[in-house]
Amino acid sequence: MIMYVLCHLGLIFFMFPADIIASTEQGHWFPILIGIIVHFVCLLTYMKGLRFFPKKDILSIFSKSKKRVTFLFFAPVLLYLIMAIIITVRAYAEIVTLVFLSHTPLWTIILLLLSVSAYISSKGIEAILRTAFLLFILFFPILLFVLIMSFQNVDWRYAIPFDTDLGFISKPAYFESYFAFADGFLFLGFVQPFFSYERKYVILSAIFLIPFFLFSVYIPILTLGQATASKAFLPFVLIVDSINIDWLMFDRVTMFFLLSLIAFIILYLSLLMWKAIRIINYYIPKSRPSYLLFGLSVAIFFVCFWIPDRKDVENILFMNSFLRSYVIIVVPLSIYYIGRRLKRKDTNETI
């Protein structure tokens, strides 16, 4: 599942390393491992629940329920999707400004990210998935190359000590790190009427991502040490900026790395917009999706423009933790519960 991999890659190297490093001073493998286990459990529960409804999307599953019930279920999901778009656009626009477009007004970068994402989203899920395949061919080799080169200055002694405790669970930064896990699998419940997927390939894709979660955190620690890495806003980007390759004609590898991530993030944003519009259109069926998409993009642009600085983005990211928990835990469990209940009902009727 290329789409599954790219959505996560765009987020893994984003604020995930800084959040994990800030959550504990040693034994960083443990909070990463817990996040991965939670991700796998929720993913498997979600896919198991969806298997009870072949060729049905998550909206069709609730179509027989009362409108009030479906609204209570999907309202937090929609709010989470919109907040995720705002956080991602605003944060990545600032990253682009800090790294290589320091004289460009922030609003132009926000406008560019939103307009490109909205255009891809307007073409539908088929265009999004085809774009994912193209971006994977173009940018994944670059990302892999940069990841390998980032090992050049590591000091393996920084990996110890391995022991840790559960103190990180009470840290806000740890809950913020789940931003890299939350929405990567939700789209599986939206694409079933249009595309089918093999469950085993999704699981293999999730396994494939495990080293990236580990490397995104441990490469900054092994290079800078915990004390220095904890002070960096974007630890992995800082490491990439320090890579020195004599035989490469370009001075900064960071540009190629960020271009790859931005390409993946635009794809991720287009998928978020597509899901949000599908939910809105479900409740306002007479409205044209293109008008809804335009209105949503304009509203998000002004919200992003009004956010003062990075600290406010981090505050919004933390406030979104409650909705994130809903998407990660409640949605998969609800789909699974409804599926099991329906299967039990069909079995009783057959008997």
Distance CA 335, CA 284 (A): 23
How would you class 292 by CB atoms within 10 Å of its CB: exposed for 0-12, middle for 13-18, buried for 19 or more?
Answer: middle
Residues 193, 56: contact at Cβ < 8 Å?
A: yes
Say which residue, 236 or 76, is predicted with more confidence.
Answer: 76
- Res 97 pLDDT > 70: yes
Q: Which of 274, 269, 264 is nearest to 122 (CA)?
A: 274
Domain boundaries, the chain: 2-350
Mean pLDDT of 65-86: 87
Distance CA 232, CA 18 (A): 7
- Res 194 pLDDT > 80: no
* Token pair of 15 as six digits: 């604020």
Q: pLDDT confidence of 44, banded at 50, 70, 90? A: very high
Say which residue, 104 or 294, is predicted with more confidence.
Answer: 294
Residues 327, 156: contact at Cβ < 8 Å?
A: no
Which three-class secondary structure state does DSSP give residue 28? coil
Q: Provide the pLDDT for residue 249.
A: 62
CATH, domain range 2-350: 1.20.1740.10
Q: pLDDT confidence of 297, banded at 50, 70, 90? A: very high
Mean pLDDT of 309-326: 84
Q: pLDDT confidence of 112, banded at 50, 70, 90? A: very high
Helices (H) and strands (E) in the chain, counts: 17, 0
* Token pair of 56 as six digits: 């049905």
Mean pLDDT of 151-168: 80
Residue 232: alpha-carbon gap to chain centroid: 21
- Percent of the chain scored above 90 by pLDDT? 27
Q: Provide the pLDDT for residue 70.
A: 84
Residues 12, 303: contact at Cβ < 8 Å?
A: no
DSSP string for 187-205? GGGTSTTT----HHHHHHH
Q: pLDDT confidence of 348, banded at 50, 70, 90? A: low
Q: pLDDT confidence of 33, banded at 50, 70, 90? A: very high
Q: pLDDT confidence of 301, banded at 50, 70, 90? A: very high
Q: Which of 57, 48, 28, 16 is nearest to 192 (CA)?
A: 57
- Res 346 pLDDT > 70: no
- Res 250 pLDDT > 80: no
Distance CA 18, CA 317 (A): 13
DSSP string for 121-159? HHT-HHHHHHHHHHHHHHHHHHHHHHHHHTTTT--GGGG
- Res 57 pLDDT > 90: no
Residue 200: alpha-carbon gap to chain centroid: 21
Q: pLDDT confidence of 175, banded at 50, 70, 90? A: confident
Average pLDDT, the chain: 86
- Res 285 pLDDT > 60: yes
Residues 43, 202: contact at Cβ < 8 Å?
A: yes
Distance CA 323, CA 83 (A): 9
Q: pLDDT confidence of 168, banded at 50, 70, 90? A: confident
Quick one: DSSP state of residue 177? T
Q: Provide the pLDDT for residue 95.
A: 83
Q: Provide the pLDDT for residue 193.
A: 74
| Model confidence, pTM | 0.91
Q: Provide the pLDDT for residue 212.
A: 92
Q: Provide the pLDDT for residue 347.
A: 62
